[in-house]
Structure 1
Amino acid sequence: MHDSTPAPGAGHTPGRWHRIEVLPQQEAEEFARTARVTRHARREYMGTHIVSEATADAEIRQLVERFLQVGHLARGASGTVRARCPKADGKEHPYSFLLDMETRHVVGYVGPAVSWFDEIRAPLEELRRHQAEQQERREEQRRRRAAHEQRMQEQQEAAAARRAAALQPKRLQPTWPQLPVGYYGRDGNPAPEPARRRPITDEARIRRVGRLPHVVFHSDALNSSFFREVPVERRCEALQRVLDLLLRAPSKGTVVTGPDAITVTGKKVTMTLTPDCTVVRTLNPPEPGNRKDPPQYRAKNWVKARERAREQDLEP
């Protein structure tokens, strides 16, 4: 038995529609078979096409089943779904049903005076196949568009990375032998990291303590380009000479204490030590000036004249 009253919200006409996807065949068939056609929708259909109540009910269900699968569906603000016929069934004057999908009611009907059944229509299977082909074409276009956007994004990111790399100063990789990262004693052997001590702020004490045997050298200082021509086994000796000369003679080296490091500069060389004066952290060679090659360590520049003479006398 058909219900004799309109479904809730039957008289509401949403002001804005949002397109939704069509239903699968089984769901559309199930809705058309079990939906209740309201008196309002039935009377609209009967009055438009001059058919009996039984004929109107049968034709409404057949059209609803078709439109839910291959038509144009849209949902209004109230939740009501509008099911219009596909363009093949009525492009200029479409047939349209209002459906309440939750309560399973056919709420209303709007259509031209000519009955849909008076003309020969394309089979439902043919429309489904055509619709599937259109969906596949849309999906392919979507995939191509997404792939294009992905390529454009990757190209933009690569270009941005190249620009950023071009703006950054080039860092040359060392071409001279490198000592492994760590700490080394005066004898050139690996040493443990010294325990932290109280920072030293007195310059005279820094000059004295910094030359004591317990001071170790970090690999960052020993691997400086200043020592690129010095064999790795002799770098600790070379660094010790630089340290001794800069700390021994105030006229040769200037000491500046800071919260994070002790900086010793002299003979255009910059050296940093830990605040407790137990580790030589870094050593930067003097600026190359106008010369093409950066300067490098020369033993004769870091040894007193009498010591050089003594070394020469000892040579065979």
Structure 2
Amino acid sequence: MLDSAPTSEKRRTRVRWEPVDAFSPEEAIGLARTARISRSAQREYMSAHIVSEATAEQEIRRLLERILQTGRLARECDGSLMRARTHKADGDDAWSFLLDPDTKVIVGYRGPASSWFDEVHPPIEELLEAITERRRRHEEIAQRRLAREREAAERRASHERRMAEQQAAAALRASAIPAPTWPLMPEGQYDWSGNPALLPPRRRPITDEARIRRVGRLPHVVFHSEALNSPFFRDVPLENRCEALRRVLDKLLRAPTKGAVSISTDCITVSGQKVVLTLTPDCTMVRTLNPPRPGDSTPARYRADRWRLPRPKSTGPGDPEADTEPKG
């Protein structure tokens, strides 16, 4: 037996306990038979039940063996001591021991005035069977709960996959642009007559709308094939497309009532008459005209009678139509 035990002040400060599983019969018997009993624990038991040292040691070991297998066990969250209390089937009053399982020392004892051995209690076999059955039920409940959670997770994952597939399919349908079925001009730039042209040299951006409306209608402006191959011109023969685009550009830039001009840092946008075309910031090339849009199954169609050029004016000094190059 040990002659000392932790002070009551130190024991009072350890109040946080974490439940632990009961010992197996072999572990409980081995610990109960080989554990050292501190003098303070033995004296507490002797004074509580008025028994001799030999009887106290014998009863402590027998009771501890039962509690370790069937009782309520807990370990300090921040220490190594273990608290072992009797099973509820042994009575409302709890007989409990404080022990250190690592060093196999019984540190203290606490219980009611009556001795556990003065009463009749259920056999340990019944308690062990009841504990086993309770554990089995708890395991079944935990397994069913885990299965439900797994099924719910699988349903969520399946739903998320279906939604992702549907969104991907919808995005694919929305972004799918059918391949052109009309004749296309080779990629490049073309002049008013439909001849291939060089990429015009970069000039200073034009930010004045009136000047854009004038410069954008001059012969130096070239047309990119992306604009000439627009669905808007799908019924126009290749040899007539530059002329058709010239008519569209001229009408939209002729007056604000025909087409609105929007100026940004990367392009000039002209819109009107169900047409939206873009020019370079320096107004030297028409880049696009009504590019294909997802889901647009009936795009606007060019009609020559709606895009007539004005009658030629007599040229003379100061006539804007006589200019051939932009100023600045």
C-alpha change, 1:279 and 1:140, in structure 2 (3 Å) is farther
Q: Give the drift of 1:24.
A: 4.8
CA distance in 1, matches of 2:11, 2:201: 81
Structure 2 contact 267–278 (Cα < 8 Å) conserved: yes
The counterpart of 1:201, out of the listed 182, 206, 212, is: 206
Quick one: which of 260, 263, 270 aligns to 2:269?
263
Query: Which position in structure 1 is the counterpart of 2:106?
Result: 106
Pairs within 5 Å for 1:97-136 = 97-101=97-101, 103-112=103-112, 113-116=114-117, 118-119=119-120, 120-123=122-125, 125-136=128-139
The whole-number CA distance in structure 1 between the counterparts of 2:52 and 2:201 is 102
TM-aligned CA distance change 1:4 to 1:125, over 3 Å: same
Choose 17-26 or 262-271, whichever is displaced more: 17-26
Equivalence for 2:45? 45
Q: Which amino acid aligns with 1:108?
A: G
For residues 143 and 177 of structure 2, what CA distance do their matches in structure 1 show? 56
CA pair 259-118 structure 1, distance change in 2 beyond 3 A: same
Deviation track 1:195-244 (CA, whole Å, cap 9, x = no partner) reads 9966732624455589415x24289x946xx67xx47xx79889866643
TM value normalised by structure 2: 0.60
The amino acid across from 1:178 in the alignment is: A
Gaps of 5+ in 2: 190-198, 311-328
Taking a change above 3 Å as real, the CA distance of residues 244 and 131 of structure 1, as seen in their structure-2 partners, is same
* Residue 275 of structure 1: how far off its partner (Å): 4.2
Distance, in Å, in 1 between the alignment partners of 2:239 and 2:70 is: 88
Structure-2 change in CA distance of 1:260 and 1:87 (3 Å): farther
- Percent identical among aligned pairs is 31
**What letter matches 1:200 in structure 2?**
P
Deviation, structure 1 residue 88: 2.4
One of 185, 188, 210 as aligned partner of 2:185: 188
1:212 equivalent in structure 2: 222
Pair 1:139 & 2:124 matched? no
Q: Structure 2: how far apart are the matches of 1:87 and 1:282?
A: 87
For residue 201 of structure 1, give the secondary structure of its aligned residue in structure 2.
Answer: coil
Post-superposition shift, 1:103? Answer: 4.9
Kindly provide the amino acid, as one letter, of the partner of residue 116 in structure 2: S
Is 2:268–2:280's contact at 8 Å kept on the other side of the alignment? yes
Task: Please give the residue correspondences for 1:282-297 in structure 2 after superposition, counting only pairs within 5 Å.
Answer: 283=290, 296-297=300-301
Shift of 1:30: 5.6
**C-alpha displacement of 1:133:** 1.5
Instruction: Compute the TM-score of the two structures, normalised by the length of structure 1.
Output: 0.61
**Structure 1 unaligned blocks of 5 or more:** 181-185, 286-292, 307-316
What is the aligned residue count? 273
SS at structure 1 position matched to 2:11: coil
Q: How does 1:1-316 map to 2 (within 5 A)?
A: 2-7=1-6, 12-14=11-13, 16-25=15-24, 28=28, 31-32=31-32, 34-76=34-76, 79=79, 80-90=81-91, 92-101=92-101, 103-112=103-112, 113-116=114-117, 118-119=119-120, 120-123=122-125, 125-140=128-143, 142-143=145-146, 146=149, 154=156, 173=174, 177-179=178-180, 187-189=184-186, 200-201=205-206, 203=212, 204-208=214-218, 211-213=221-223, 215-217=224-226, 222=230, 230=234, 243-249=245-251, 250-251=253-254, 252-273=258-279, 275=281, 280-281=287-288, 283=290, 296-301=300-305, 303-304=307-308
In structure 2, what is the equivalent of residue 289 of structure 1?
Answer: none
Q: For the Cα contact (< 8 Å) 2:275–2:289, is it kept in 1? A: no
How big is each residue's C-alpha offset from its partner over 1:283-305, in whole Å with a ceiling of 9 and x where there is no partner? 279xxxxxxx9662133356538
Distance 2:173 2:281 in 1: 30
**What is the aligned partner in structure 2 of residue 311 from structure 1?**
none
In the TM superposition, residue 145 of structure 1 has moved relative to its aligned partner by: 6.7
Distance 1:46 1:118 in 2: 18
Distance 1:240 1:46 in 2: 115
Distance in 1 between the 2:23 and 2:219 partners?
87
Q: CA shift at 1:108, angstroms?
A: 1.7
